[in-house]
Structure 1
């Protein structure tokens, strides 16, 4: 199987929303027209790069009728584009698979070459980056040369927020710090994929390969039994974090998957380790505590966010710090709408929405 270098290039935080989407048929038509124009003008590789860019994706979702802060900007946009391309994938050159629930299980729908990056990107977002969001939406866009973009979306039920994660086939590897992440900055996130966590990853791999699984489980669970020491904050490693409710990523797990540790003994590297069946968030978190508290290997607790939404404009709407890129995206999409064969009503509505992006980004 060929190696597929990759990088997670961004994520965005969004408000959870529910209910039917008005004018869904128009959204499907518009989404299809935008993607076909992008492929005609830019080619499939550059179109996939746009899907993996949070700002470009945000602009496209806005053009299709979604405010920046709603979770439907991800789920409905991708569903609509996928529906628009159905039956035309070969002629357009882009395939999109995935969705919510059962549709998020993309393995059988993907070519063999894409199954590993598909699985590992989602495992990184769910187990290595523990930020309080549970992945509930997963989609993959790809072309015939097996270039791809992955978009995951996680849900924080407590705060009624969703967070979007973008990946690309290009550069960086599975474990890196090359993200262009957008959204609300969390006070602390367990980030084992960060470069700052490299020694912790090495320690975890050594421990799993060298020590009996039963002993590893005992060591992790023993950390819970120390009087008054249940979280990183109690060990003095997170004392600056003030919370009324202790998020799960600060808790030493009550259960660790011993069988997963046994299977992972054969792992050649850290990516192999996290691909192990049963190596879920709780077991990974337990290993992170073990590496940090027992073996002294530092773990990153910094949210890997690189740009945020800023508030305070006259209209009370947010604008993104990366205004130049948003303007470029909006102007390109304006051309796409104007040159499309869409009805005048649909065109005018999309152009009006794109104008609002330009106004608040200027």
Structure 2
């Protein structure tokens, strides 16, 4: 079997607090809207079908960077934000977690009635991908979330997740219509979850003789090699040096904190813009404009807005709100014919990418995290456990220097 992504996803329970969920919906919508404006609907589907990008996207939204909760919370926030704008965006998200997953067929038929798409075909596809991951692949995971994302051109992506009853892990499955040549032979763009040893997988190429007598879903066999990746998500909550690309993280911190580009006046002159906001926007811009190869370390994106569990640091609500405001203003002005602010986001990504070339990591990532935690109260830092408090008088620390 050729995997595009496998990872350990610790199963986390609990609800996302309202103060974060509202912001996830707003920032998620803005990020998707910029991707739509710059790259189109198919690119949004392509990103959602990439398990590495999806994990990075969830981390930049302030979710626990390594947990299964990214899937349910991100898709719930996106559905809430995108569906009211479905006509303008040309995207619609069906399904959800638990009982909401069973609403997928009716939602697809309703969408088809509005758009003229083939509703019966979409419903059949939705049922097939769920059957493949729940029945054709018997890996110990029982599906409990199914989201079907459709574009107005009929292309689609699926994000669904299963729970393992015995080991406290989850596995996320990604599908993309662009990659499908057969529903029963190597169909996935990615499977994320921890290794369970030998499993029954009737979608593997080697299982073709077995499928002949068991499944007759599709007659065509796949001759497409899908480039499967493997992402192992650790069980530890804290972010460690081994979890991130230090060269990329260090170059971003260097540009944002110590060497703000002089040819970047338009963005720097925005009200409230400072090194810390620039740091968050740098990672947001990478989620929007970065190439697929840049998402192999999702933990790095938690340095945009922290995590609700306090790892790597509390969510800086003031910075989060500034990120949302800057993106939304850029989108509004772009619709009026002035795309300079959105172009600045792309420019920021290019500047940091160029800075990586000559950058040699010479910093302690724990020092970065400790500094973020010391300063968290200044930015209205918050976790599910409460608000960040100012450090005590004897808990002083030197300002981070990367040199």
Q: Given the alignment of the two structures, is residue 64 of structure 1 paired with residue 74 of structure 2, yes or no? A: no
Q: Given the alignment of the two structures, is residue 309 of structure 1 paired with residue 309 of structure 2, yes or no? A: no
Structure 2 vs 1, CA of residues 103 and 11 (structure 1 numbering), >3 Å: closer, same or farther?
A: farther
Structure 1 contact 11–165 (Cα < 8 Å) conserved: no
For residues 45-72 of structure 1, what are the alpha-carbon distances to aligned partners after superposition, in whole Å with 9 as ceiling and x for unaligned? 1110110010111111111112332111
Structure 2 vs 1, CA of residues 36 and 84 (structure 1 numbering), >3 Å: closer, same or farther?
A: same
Q: Given the alignment of the two structures, is residue 204 of structure 1 paired with residue 199 of structure 2, yes or no? A: no
Structure 2 contact 10–169 (Cα < 8 Å) conserved: yes
| CA displacement at 1:124 relative to structure 2 | 0.1
2:83 to 86, 91, 105: 86
**Aligned-residue CA RMSD in angstroms?**
3.9
| CA displacement at 1:117 relative to structure 2 | 1.1
Question: Which residue in the other structure is 2:331 paired with?
Answer: none
Structure 2 vs 1, CA of residues 136 and 315 (structure 1 numbering), >3 Å: closer, same or farther?
A: closer
CA distance in 1, matches of 2:136, 2:242: 30
Question: Which residue in the other structure is 2:128 paired with?
Answer: 120
What's the secondary structure of 2:128's corresponding residue? helix
Runs of 5+ in structure 2 lacking a partner?
113-118, 220-226, 253-281, 291-300, 305-316, 328-348, 366-403
| CA displacement at 1:332 relative to structure 2 | 2.6
Runs of 5+ in structure 1 lacking a partner?
1-6, 206-268, 273-303
Q: Given the alignment of the two structures, is residue 345 of structure 1 paired with residue 319 of structure 2, yes or no? A: yes
Question: Which residue in the other structure is 2:401 paired with?
Answer: none
Question: Which residue in the other structure is 1:108 paired with?
Answer: 106
Instruction: Map residues 203-352 of structure 1 onto 2, 5 A cutoff.
Output: 203-204=213-214, 269-271=216-218, 306-309=229-232, 315-316=239-240, 319=243, 332-333=286-287, 345-346=319-320
| CA displacement at 1:329 relative to structure 2 | 8.7
Structure 1 contact 96–139 (Cα < 8 Å) conserved: yes
Question: Which residue in the other structure is 1:159 paired with?
Answer: 167
Structure 1 contact 49–149 (Cα < 8 Å) conserved: yes
For residues 241-262 of structure 1, what are the alpha-carbon distances to aligned partners after superposition, in whole Å with 9 as ceiling and x for unaligned? xxxxxxxxxxxxxxxxxxxxxx
CA distance in 2, matches of 1:199, 1:117: 23
1:190 to 200, 219, 229: 200
For residues 321-359 of structure 1, what are the alpha-carbon distances to aligned partners after superposition, in whole Å with 9 as ceiling and x for unaligned? 9x99xx999653266999xxxx962156799xx99xx99
Moved over 4 A (4+): 7-12, 310-315, 327-331, 334-338, 347-351
CA distance in 2, matches of 1:62, 1:125: 25
Instruction: Map residues 7-18 of structure 1 onto 2, 5 A cutoff.
Output: 10=5, 12-18=7-13
CA distance in 2, matches of 1:11, 1:329: 24
Structure 2 vs 1, CA of residues 10 and 271 (structure 1 numbering), >3 Å: closer, same or farther?
A: farther
| CA displacement at 1:31 relative to structure 2 | 1.1
2:183 to 174, 181, 189: 174
Normalised by the length of structure 2, the TM-score is 0.54
For residues 156-211 of structure 1, what are the alpha-carbon distances to aligned partners after superposition, in whole Å with 9 as ceiling and x for unaligned? 12111111000001133212236443442221110011101001111336xxxxxx
What's the secondary structure of 2:163's corresponding residue? strand
What's the secondary structure of 2:178's corresponding residue? coil
Structure 1 contact 149–166 (Cα < 8 Å) conserved: yes
Question: Which residue in the other structure is 1:39 paired with?
Answer: 36
Question: Which residue in the other structure is 1:208 paired with?
Answer: none
Question: Which residue in the other structure is 2:157 paired with?
Answer: 149
1:55 to 43, 52, 55: 52
CA distance in 2, matches of 1:198, 1:74: 31
CA distance in 2, matches of 1:155, 1:317: 29
CA distance in 1, matches of 2:3, 2:39: 22
CA distance in 2, matches of 1:141, 1:129: 22
Structure 2 vs 1, CA of residues 123 and 178 (structure 1 numbering), >3 Å: closer, same or farther?
A: closer
| CA displacement at 1:89 relative to structure 2 | 0.7
What's the secondary structure of 2:197's corresponding residue? coil
